[in-house]
Amino acid sequence: MYNNSVLYKSRSNMSSPRELANAIRALSMDAVQKAKSGHPGAPMGMADIAEVLWNNHLKYNPSNSNWADRDRFVLSNGHGSMLIYSLLHLTGFDLSIDEIKNFRQLHAKTPGHPEYGYADGVETTTGPLGQGISNAVGMAIAERTLAAYFNKTGHSIVDHYTYVFMGDGCLMEGLSHEACSMAGTLGLGKLIAFWDDNDISIDGHIGDWMEKGVSGRFKSYNWHVIEDIDGHDPVAINAAIVEAKSIKDKPTLICTRTVIGFGAPNLAGTHDCHGAPLGDEEIAKTREQLGWNHEPFIIPDEIYDGWNHIEQGAEVEEDWNERFKAYRAEFPEAAAEFERRMSGELPANFIDEMDKYIAKTQEEMPNIASRKASQNAIEAMGPIVPELFGGSADLTGSNLTNWSGSVVVNADNANGNYISWGVREFGMAAMMNGMVLHGGLKVYCATFLMFMEYMRNALRMSAMMKIGSIFVYSHDSIGLGEDGPTHQAVEQLSTMRVIPNFQTWRACDAIESAVSWKMAMLRVDAPTALIFSRQNLTPMERTDDQVRNIAKGGYVLKDCEGEAEIILIATGSEVGLAVESADAMTDKKVRVVSMPSTNAFDDQDQDYKDSVLTPGVKRVAIEAGVAESWYKYIGLDGGVVVMSTFGESAPAGDLFKYFGFTVEKVVSTVESVLG
């Protein structure tokens, strides 16, 4: 059985911890020098900490980087990417020395910052500071939740730590405050973070722009704090990790004092080695000072032997496999459920059950707000998708993201499926991304659409990592009403639609709401935003074919006889307006297209798109948002009924009239377009 309290693994070659750490330093400075760009200082400064953690505590198998019960390691200070690339290479992951030499080059597995899905063993994309620690908090939440659900007396199949390396920059970002305060509130005892306290950032010594009371801040967050650890003393580092793992009811911050660029005789301890190559002359002197008498990218066999973790990793995983076999024998259904969840597969009956629910909703045609329709869809999915895990940023009663089976997760209860995240939208999104990356849960989070602005970089990161995060946004436009322009989304829909590998849905009624949820749940390699209204929306009549075509992102909702003279394209609450306007234009042949997802529509083949938006037919787009995302459909000769300013504070009905979302305005726009 893996021994989490081991001090040092036995090494036949007796390479010292410092010698092993120097391999990281050498690879880091050589790779950065060859690339002529990069950040050698952090890897050189944290090498000793990494050596102790990876050789004596971290539970992993280089031959199976996706093993379910591995410890998670997150390099939050992602600019120090050569640290993790060195570790992966040295310990036996599928990352060759050629990839190390190819650092920062086109299509390399070793990009400038760690990228999820490139190098085997990288758990998350880091670079924007604060994201990594926030992802790590999410991973720790997922571990705690799954452990509470699956572990049984005498059987601990979910039992791993989340370790984080982070620098001063991570702690300056407000995002880290949001996530770390949540971690302490939840009492995440299996989250251990190392603060690289080197007193340096890009601009120099940080005393002029960073507070000195980091440890006090984390104590106030309910973290266990281990202060003043020499980050170059392996015995002290090890003792700190052992102490951290003995704390079960709160996360731990280990404050490690390090020298950035450790070993560089002229540049160590300065900002000059933070984000630039050391230079050939300094590297030569560093080799001499470290006693590293090897050519660039040459690692002696005895050093490789001291790092190689393949055999030990296989033994650790095999021990877990034996324990899981015993678990399966006693709890076969739970074991099968665990394997299904960790594979990312939805229950086999999910599509059939959702299609039944969609058909039932179309038959009933409820006249409700789409946020309520969203809640109804969650209620339908909850019993058949036990891994469904939701939450809201202090807006549960407005977003309507809970359901009858919601069980709140807090410090006292880990076995639940819903979190009140508090007013920390960015942190919520980044932590949710971490939960998704961990695996085993299908996660969504929610707030008002306007406040996606606080979350934007987390949305972008989810798209970049190609993970199935689900972002739920209610109160989608000026229809929010009296709260005024600060809360009314105007430009947000357009800006989300242009995020690569990101799909945005704005439903026009309960049926489209249900379909959008189905599509979001099925996406495992890309995130989705679901946009819902505050106000009731009139249900639309549809044929079975039209219901099926909703999934294509855009479809003909109402057609005319013969070829149309004008096509009205609308989303959300404005679809009803488009239908009313078409009915009013009795002298014209009008087609109404509902386009809940421009992104999904764009993915369709050209024949289908042409069947919906007939080439040569003029078009008018109608949406209570800015026009920018619509010109690719309407062209230069089309028209728009949109927002061109921020909103106002007033009842929603008054605002729609004031800003021209009326039949009269649509008709006049059509007449102008047709000339």
Tens digit of each residue's pLDDT (9 = 90 or more) over 393-449? 999 999 999 999 999 999 999 999 999 999 999 999 999 999 999 999 999 999 999
State yes or no: pLDDT of 238 exceeds 90: yes
- Beta-sheet pairing, 72-75 with 536-537: unpaired
- Give pLDDT, residue 11: 46
In 3D space, the residue among 485, 486, 482, 542 whose CA is nearest the CA of residue 510 turns out to be 542
Calpha distance 317→289 (Å, rounded):
39
Amino acid at 251: P
Calpha distance 350→357 (Å, rounded):
11
**Token representation of residue 337:** 């459920």
604-636: per-residue pLDDT in tens? 999 999 999 999 999 999 999 999 999 999 999
- Give pLDDT, residue 296: 97
State yes or no: pLDDT of 10 exceeds 50: no
- Give pLDDT, residue 428: 98
Show the beta-strand stretches assigned E in 140-283: 162-166, 191-197, 200-201, 204-205, 224-230, 252-257
Q: What percent of the chain has pLDDT over 90?
A: 97
Calpha distance 236→242 (Å, rounded):
10
Q: What percent of the chain has pLDDT over 70?
A: 98
**Token representation of residue 432:** 């949710």
- Give pLDDT, residue 4: 39
State yes or no: pLDDT of 248 exceeds 60: yes
Calpha distance 373→364 (Å, rounded):
12
Mean pLDDT of 217-235: 98
314-326: per-residue pLDDT in tens? 999 999 999 999 9
Please work out, in degrees rounded to the nearest 5, the angle formed at the alpha carbon of residue 427 by the alpha carbons of 483 and 160. 150
State yes or no: pLDDT of 5 exceeds 50: no
What is the average pLDDT score of the chain? Answer: 96
- Give pLDDT, residue 14: 74
Calpha distance 477→533 (Å, rounded):
8
- Beta-sheet pairing, 639-641 with 442-448: unpaired
261-306: per-residue pLDDT in tens? 999 999 999 999 999 999 999 999 999 999 999 999 999 999 999 9
Q: Which of 19, 115, 317, 425 is catalytic?
A: 425
Mean pLDDT of 92-96: 98
The helix (H) or strand (E) run that includes residue 530 is strand 528-531
Calpha distance 214→226 (Å, rounded):
11
CA distances from 660 to 291, 315, 483, 634 (A): 75, 69, 20, 19
Calpha distance 620→584 (Å, rounded):
15
In 3D space, the residue among 608, 641, 650, 601 whose CA is nearest the CA of residue 622 turns out to be 641
Calpha distance 644→627 (Å, rounded):
8
State yes or no: pLDDT of 486 exceeds 70: yes
In 3D space, the residue among 392, 414, 417 whose CA is nearest the CA of residue 404 turns out to be 417
State yes or no: pLDDT of 8 exceeds 80: no
Residue 425 is a catalytic residue: yes
Residue 463 CA, distance from chain mean position? 8
Contact (CB, 8 A) for 168 and 210: yes
Calpha distance 422→434 (Å, rounded):
17
State yes or no: pLDDT of 7 exceeds 80: no
- Give pLDDT, residue 13: 54
Give one DSSP letter per residue of 371-418, joined into a string.
HHHHHHHHHHHTTT-TTEEEEESS-HHHHT---TT--B-BTTB-S-SE
Band of residue 69 on the pLDDT scale cut at 50, 70, 90: very high
**Token representation of residue 529:** 């935003």
